[in-house]
Chains A and B, each alone.
Chain A
Amino acid sequence: MKHILTSILALGVLTSYAQNPAPARPQERAIALTGATIHVGNGQVIQNGVVVFDKGVITAIGDGSTPTAGSEVISVSGKHVYPGIISPASTVGLQEIGAVKATVDKQEIGELNPNIRALIAYNTDSEIIPTIRNNGVLLTQAMPQGGTVSGSSSVMMTDGWNWEDAVLKKDDGIWVNWPSYFARNFNFEDFSLTIQKNEKRTEAMSALLATFAEAKGYLAMQNPTPTNLKFESMRGVFSGKQNLYVRADYSKDIIEAVKFAKSLAIPKIVIVGGEESHKVATFLKENNVPVILGELHRLPNREDEDVDMPYRQPGILQKAGVLVGLSYADGWWRTRNLAFQAGTAAGFGVTDKEEALKMVTSNNAKILGIDNLVGTLEKGKQATLFVSAGDALDMRTNVVEQVFIQGRKVNLDDRHKRLYKTYKDKYEQK
């Protein structure tokens, strides 16, 4: 496969207009990766380990003594095997070129859109997708934005012919932008940002409360007529089949959002963003509410905040016992750096690298409700994993060499590699 690709590239057939590589073919025979340092994703590391998978599912995992009979054995000695990185709260697949409106499908107009489904716009042909996959991000949660209730997200694989076969979990949750205590105002006189009380909050809050209360009532009816598509789409949130994802950053907003969910007996709420979640860590722990943090590589919120607070936040939450996941927020193309955020977390207070790895693998899987399928390298789980030449959390050492999604061996070509190759050839660089 690799050789064929190389010769195609050498012939110069693939210009910059070339398409993404075709999605991988289903796994045809069992594969055993041997000799690797296996990062299970639950905190465990297996030295000189073996992972065997067949028909897309891990059939065995363990140390060097794990039997590999009947498998294609691929020695990855000295290399590292990781579960696929899971990127929650993402617009990958929903936008291509930020400044070109025609390529952006990440939000709908209107304030209350629980019925909007991100799944539909997930573009498996996005040229962004192979670039994030090639850094180990193998699953992404396509998330709608905009309004107060944005719609529902779905968990997608970064490989597939169309959204139907790329989806891992359909409509996993409804997204709410919590009306914030503080609003940002830009001052054109001195070009400063002022953050002050949000004067429109009351209005937004009452619309939100009414919608949820009425939805709950509607859903309790036997045969409600006329059918309300918005309310119908919220059924899973009340039954516990779907998460309620609430974007909130300010400490008071976070508390209020959680209280709101409790008051409506919504079983599963997830705080997303959570820039001040460390201030309410105890509250979150007591209420058993997980947090998906936004981009860690951000500036502190305030002049006086510790310079490294965003980096330290995952560690603070982890030590308080809160289930923490990491995301890349709206940074679609930057999502390829998600594993490095875990690296930052490990460098700034999370107990160790494996604990940090959990924040982009098993923790995210638990939060998104897909931990029965993915998130760790355990028997029975999907063989969605990758092999890196080194520590995948560190850009200095991470070079992804093999990717398997549900056991399918994925072609590692992407737009960037093609252009690299083209110009390397032009300059005859080796």
Chain B
Amino acid sequence: MRRHFLTALLAAGLAYSAVAQTTFPRNGVYDERPGLYAFTNATIVVDPQTTLQNATLLIRDGRVEAVGTNVSVPAGTVIADLKGKRIYPALIDIYSDYGMPEIPRAAPGGGRGGVPQIESNKKGAYYWNQAVQPENSASQLFKATPAKADELRKLGFGTVLTHPHDGIVRGTGALVTLADDRENTLVLKSDAAAHYSFSKGTSRQSYPNSMMGSVALLRQALYDADWYKRGGNKEQSNLSLEALNRNQSLPAIFEGNDKLGVLRADKVGDEFGVQYIIKGGGDEYQRLDEIKATGASLIIPINFPQPYDVEDAWDADNVALSELKHWEMAPLNASRLASANIPFALTTAGLKNKADFWANLRKAIENGLSEQKALEALTTTPAKLMKAEDMVGSLQKGRVASFIITSGNLFGADNVIYENWIRGKQYIVNQKDVVDLRGSWQLTIGNQSNVKLNVTGKSADKPEYQIVIDTTKITPKVAVSGEIISIQTQLSRRPGSGTTRLTGYFTSPTSVKGEGETPDGKQITWSATKSGDAPLSTTAVTAARSTSATSSTAVVYPFVGMGNAQKPKSENVLIRNATVWTNEKEGVLTETDVLVQDGKIAKVGKGLSAPAGVKVIDGTGKHLTTGIIDEHSHIALLTINEGGQTSSAEVRMSDVINSEDINIYRQLAGGVTTSQLLHGSANSIGGQSAIVKLKWGESPEGLLLKGADGFIKFALGENVKQSNNPSAGVRFPQSRMGVEQVYMDHFTRAKEYAKGWTTYNKLGAKEKTTAIPPRRDIELDALAEILSAKRFITCHSYVQSEINMLMKVADSLGFKVNTFTHILEGYKLADKMAKHGVGGSSFADWWAYKMEVHDAIPYNAALMHRMGVTVSINSDDAEMARRLNQEAAKTVEYGGIPEEDAWKMVTLNPAKLLHLDNRLGSMKVGKDADLVLWNAHPLSIYARPEITMIEGATYFSLKDEEAKREAMQAERARLIQKTLSAKASGSPTQRPTFRRSRMWHCEDIEGVMAEGEEEGK
């Protein structure tokens, strides 16, 4: 029971903050202290690379004065002997919201249904959009919150970078310590980082209401800041843009939140020459190569999914294999990142219960994360990322004296954190140097002497207590505080027997004496004597802790049940003896061979010989065509409408490609190889299209068809005038009359904008130094591109009047509309369309779902085609795209289109409409080998693809399908067994829910789910 004087002193909280509060007047007498402490005989982990044995840490005034094995301790130093204990630098979390104002949670539904808020609610000389608030400064908002600080200190954290988690441009973060003190002493670095995200947070402003709108807003804000710097500030005062410019020099942290978000954030950074530090989502292992290629440092949460409740086999079908796999693999994330040499810091962000931090971190370590890497991720890496490595994260001389004292290896399961010193101020987490009570104690309580107290446990720090009276075992409540021990226990298991309360003091390490009170209020005396070693454990010996390390399951690309362990590769292939639909003047060739080399069609002919190493496929009795091209698709997108404004020309669908969408695979199974991913039809001027090849497994960037022309979606009619939206009535336009003026207005502005740039660009170098450059406007950029034939319009349209209108608008401004899509009344002005030179991309037989399709007829394609319009048949529907061949066949039924022409409507014609017919759409030597081998006539309902290849790589094979399904089933069964045993061993589970991303149609406005989805055209 011998105690160091120091410990007692410190425990009493007398170690005064060593950090002076110079500027504050005192109410009382000055009490400035040297703050000089030495910690001796410790194992000191100075930084993750340097561990000193039997060393001394000397701190003065909140800073490290010396650390080493040969430190001379000056007179007057308060010394703590840490023999057998360790010192680590205190941990750092750089994705915290500690001390930030509570962010009000958006009401479910986020303001839909009410009057749209078009303008910012933030009054003052700020940016026009509420989600852009670079002027927010965490150090100004920061208010220490002791309870939360305590929670983090107990985990070993000493420093956090905190920022308000609200908005797209969030302002600056502050590096603060977790001490309880005046904020003045807590802030280590006030503008330590700039923060960005894709989420508009609490802003209820209409714009943006989509992911791609968020990205566009960020881009525009950055361009605006640049303009402001270069002269815009003479035109207006804008505190937000000033702040945004100021923040450019800071480390920039982007909330990516998942693997695709990480890639997206980095892409935005690349455009502006910024390397963001990106906060991930814990699923980065699923796209490791691409994430490594970003070169970004990451901030990674370690919240792992709970196992799913899969006890009911049918209900369990609602759990996707990808979810089961992620449950199993999430603990591997950090170790995979480390192995790939991707720098990362760890964060407690996202942990529902912060106390899970250590358990989860240990799980990550069991799954291969080295302790050194783990420590780096919690100390030096975050310090470096914040350019604060000279302050925190290690314990070299001169650093802030923030460190923790532990019982042993910080990452060991039995480790106990005793103390957390922050800037020289001590916080006790657990009592160190506790008396080892473990053993068997003989108690005498009043006149009862048959009571035993067994104290067990793996370490003295975590004792377990059990009262034994003859054969009865009772778990008491025992508290030891310094010299005092108190015990509350029943002394019988009989129902109604009350609690006896005993308080005593140590007379020696092996004896205790004291007084107490029986259940009936009688005062008694008691004593205890340690009589020997207790049995090792009072509880049943637990089975050897089964390692929770994950067996080496394969990542599949994409991370979906039907993904592939290996991304398909291009092969040289000879398809023999098939009926080949050339889409060229040769027409349909029977018993013909096609040779594929290097991803291209190399030869078409009869009796071709197979070069060495070429895979030969027998096409006898089968039909070979080029892949189907869907001119109008919304698959593989995270969102589709930025409906916050009447024009969203600035948004890019390429920002929201979802490479993990199962519909990619489903459509490959239907013979689709290329799709134009369009913005929806919520507004007159939609967003910029993305043209992708359905290379199942590739990343969003890998799906994009490189070198394709830029397209943009326009829309007319009921959707843009919000006819079928009961809560509409505010956003312009509300009639077809207004729609015309939207175009006239925007294009007129774009014309003047382009002229402004031309004028500016013509200025000499000298003149440019004084002239204010025009403000770069990415919305007008896109429109100006249309005017100069660098971007092309695909326009959602139904009724002839509006179709005519847009052609007239285009004529008057000197540009062409490229494609009318849907165009269900195209047949009424096919002559005008032919004259304008616009194509029509239509449904085969859709009608009757709303008023503007009342005159839609299935003969539309035939009538347009015969008038010389380039006609394609598109899907706008994830299901219908799986059988576009059948939709093309309907033009044979309705209107008697020749079969070859019908087939071109889903292959060559859409290629033409997308300006890709030089490389896609027909069986011509040199074109991409995007091929489909059909089991029957491709226009027949009985036809199905047996092989779908893109650029020579097989992405769907009916033959392999069976094996793939079996493998999936086996993997699923294995994971379900594993999940069941996790549940059996007591892990909490989550109820199976089945989530699927929206099946988008162009009608779907964000936040408004169209009534009767399947009719939502």
Name A residues whose Cβ lies closer than 8 Å to a Cβ of B. Answer: 16, 96-100, 128, 181-182, 186-189, 191-197, 250-252, 279, 297-300, 302-304, 306-308, 330-334, 336-337, 340, 343-344, 346-348, 393-399, 415-417, 419-420, 423-424, 427, 429
By the criterion CB–CB under 8 Å, are A398 and B942 in contact?
Answer: no
Structural contact, B669 and A188, CB atoms closer than 8 A:
no
A252: chain B residues within 8 A (beta carbon): 314
* Contact status A100-B994, CB under 8 Å: no
Closest 9 CB pairs of A and B: A99-B850, A343-B941, A420-B859, A333-B848, A304-B561, A347-B942, A195-B994, A416-B857, A196-B993
In the bound assembly, the distance between CA atoms of A340 and B887 in angstroms comes to 11
Assess whether B942 is in contact with A343, with CB atoms less than 8 Å apart.
Answer: yes
Q: Identify the closest chain A residue to B660 (Cβ).
A: A303
Cβ 8 A contact of B943, one of A196, A347, A416: A347
8 cross-chain CB contacts under 8 A: A98-B1012, A181-B315, A195-B318, A307-B562, A396-B939, A420-B895, A423-B828, A427-B831
B598 CB, min distance to chain A CBs, angstroms: 29
| A146 vs B830: C-alpha distance when bound (angstroms) | 42
Contacting pair B941 A192 (CB below 8 A): no
Is A337 a contact partner of B561 (Cβ separation < 8 A)? no
Query: In this assembly, does B740 line the interface, its C-beta being within 8 Å of a C-beta of chain A?
Result: no
Shortest B699–chain A CB gap in Å is 19
Are B998 and A307 interface neighbours, CB within 8 A?
A: no
User: B879: which of A193, A299, A303, A348 is its contact (CB, 8 Å)?
Assistant: A299
Task: Determine whether the beta carbon of A396 is less than 8 Å from that of B662.
Answer: no
**Is residue B128 within 8 Å, beta carbon to beta carbon, of the partner chain?**
no
Nearest residue (CB) in A for B865 is A429
In the assembled complex, the Cα of A343 lies from the Cα of B940 at a distance in Å of 9
B994 to chain A: closest residue by CB: A195
Contact indicator B892/A188 (Cβ below 8 Å):
no
B322 x A303 contact (CB < 8 A): yes
8 Å CB contacts to A: which residues of B828-858?
828, 830-831, 845-851, 854-855, 857-858
Q: What CA separation (Å) do A188 and B663 show in the bound complex?
A: 21
Which B residues are CB-close (under 8 A) to A302?
317-318, 320, 994, 996
Cβ proximity bits B364-394 to A, threshold 8 Å, 1 near / 0 not: 0000000000000000000000000000000
Q: B1009 interface residue, CB < 8 Å from A?
A: yes
> Which B residues are CB-close (under 8 A) to A308?
669, 944
Chain A interface: which of B2-10, B104-112, B175-183, B608-616? B104-112
B883 interface contact, C-beta 8 A: yes
**Contact yes or no, B941 A340, CB < 8 A:** yes
Shortest distance from the beta carbon of A333 to any chain B beta carbon, whole Å: 4
- Measured CB to CB, the closest approach of chain A to B789, in angstroms, equals 29
Cβ–Cβ contact A97 & B669, under 8 A: no
Say yes or no: is B474 at the interface (Cβ < 8 Å to chain A).
no
Assuming the contacts A197-B991, A303-B560, asked whether A188 and B850 have C-beta atoms less than 8 A apart, the reply is no
- Min CB gap A25→B, angstroms: 27
Residues of A within 8 A of B264 (CB): none
Asked whether A427 and B867 contact (CB < 8 A) given A98-B1012, A192-B998, the answer is yes
Q: A192 and B995 in contact (CB under 8 A), knowing A186-B1009, A420-B857?
A: yes
- B892 touches which of A186, A191, A336, A395 (Cβ 8 Å): A395
With A and B bound together, what is the CA distance between A300 and B965 in angstroms? 14
- In whole angstroms, what is the CA distance A186 to B854 when docked? 30
User: Chain A contacts of B893 at CB under 8 A?
Assistant: 395-396, 398-399
Beyond A302-B317, A304-B972, A343-B942, whether A97 also contacts B848 by CB under 8 A is: yes
Give chain A residues whose Cβ lies under 8 Å from the Cβ of B943: 347
B1015 within 8 A of A: yes
Q: Is the CB of A194 within 8 A of B848?
A: no
Q: Does B741 contact A (CB under 8 A)?
A: no
A99 touches B724 (CB 8 A): yes
Query: When the two chains form their complex, are residues A194 and B669 in contact, meaning their CB atoms are under 8 A apart?
Result: no
Contacts of A187 in B (CB 8 A): 995
Interface membership of chain B positions 319-349, coded 1 if the CB is closer than 8 angstroms to chain A and 0 otherwise: 0111000000000000000000000000000
Cβ-neighbour of B859 out of A395, A398, A416 (below 8 A): A416
With A303-B322, A336-B845, A427-B863 as known contacts, state yes or no: A395 contacts B850, CB within 8 Å: no
Q: Which of B665-691 contact A (CB under 8 A)?
A: 665-666, 669
Query: Contact between B858 and A396 (Cβ–Cβ < 8 Å)?
Result: no
Q: Which residue of B lies closest to A193 (CB)?
A: B996
| Number of residues from B at the complex interface, CB < 8 A | 81
Select which of A128, A196, A394 is within 8 A of B848 by beta carbon: A128
Measured in the bound complex, the distance between the Cα atoms of B991 and A193 in whole Å is: 16
Using an 8 Å CB-CB cutoff, how does the interface string of B815-835 with A read, 1 for contact, 0 for none?
Answer: 000000000000110110000
Asked if B878 and A299 sit within 8 Å, CB to CB, the answer is: yes
Decide: A196 near B991, CB < 8 A? Known: A394-B942, A416-B857, A423-B828.
Answer: yes
B866 and A394 contacting across the interface, CB-CB below 8 Å = no
The digit string for B294-327, where 1 denotes a CB below 8 A from any CB of A, is 0000000000000000000011011011100000
Nearest A residue to B958, CB-CB: A308
Q: Is B889 an interface residue (CB 8 A)?
A: yes
B110 adjacent to A188 (CB under 8 Å): yes
Question: Which chain B residues lie closer than 8 Å to A194 at the CB level?
Answer: 993-995
A194 to B845 alpha-carbon distance, docked (Å):
32
Q: Is B886 an interface residue (CB 8 A)?
A: yes
Choose among A298, A304, A420 the residue that contacts B968 (Cβ–Cβ < 8 A).
A304
Inter-subunit contact B848/A419 (CB<8 Å): no
What are the interface flags for B200-218 relative to A under an 8 Å C-beta threshold, 1 for contact and 0 otherwise?
0000000000000000000
Task: Name the CB-closest residue of A to B666.
Answer: A307
Q: Are A419 and B886 in contact (CB under 8 A)?
A: no
- Contact with A96, one of B848, B863, B883, B1015 (Cβ below 8 angstroms): B848
Closest residue of A by beta carbon distance from B969: A304
What are the residues of chain B within 8 A of A196 when measuring CB–CB? 991, 993-994
Select A99's contact among B851, B899, B972, beta carbons within 8 Å: B851
- Tell whether B1014 is near chain A: CB-to-CB under 8 Å: yes
- How far is it, in angstroms, between the C-alpha of A195 and the C-alpha of B845 when the chains are bound? 32
Interface string of B982-1017 (1 = CB under 8 A from A): 000000000101111111000000110100101100
B863/A424 in contact, CB under 8 A? yes
Inside 8 A of B940's CB, which chain A residues have their CB? 394, 396-397
Contact of B108 among A188, A307, A417, A420 (CB under 8 A): A188
Query: A226 vs B424: C-alpha distance in the bound complex, in angstroms?
Result: 87
Q: Collect the chain B residues with CB atoms within 8 Å of residue A333's CB.
A: 846-849
Least distance between A212 CB and chain B CB atoms (Å): 25
CA distance A420 to B865 in the complex (A): 13
Pick from A16, A250, A396: contact of B855, CB under 8 Å:
A16
User: Are B993 and A97 in touch, CB under 8 angstroms?
Assistant: no
Report the minimal beta-carbon distance from B599 to chain A, rounded to whole angstroms: 25
Closest CB-CB distance, B850 to chain A, in whole Å? 4
Question: CA of A300 to CA of B718 in the docked complex: distance in angstroms?
Answer: 31
Which of A303, A344, A394, A419 is in CB contact (< 8 Å) with B561?
A303
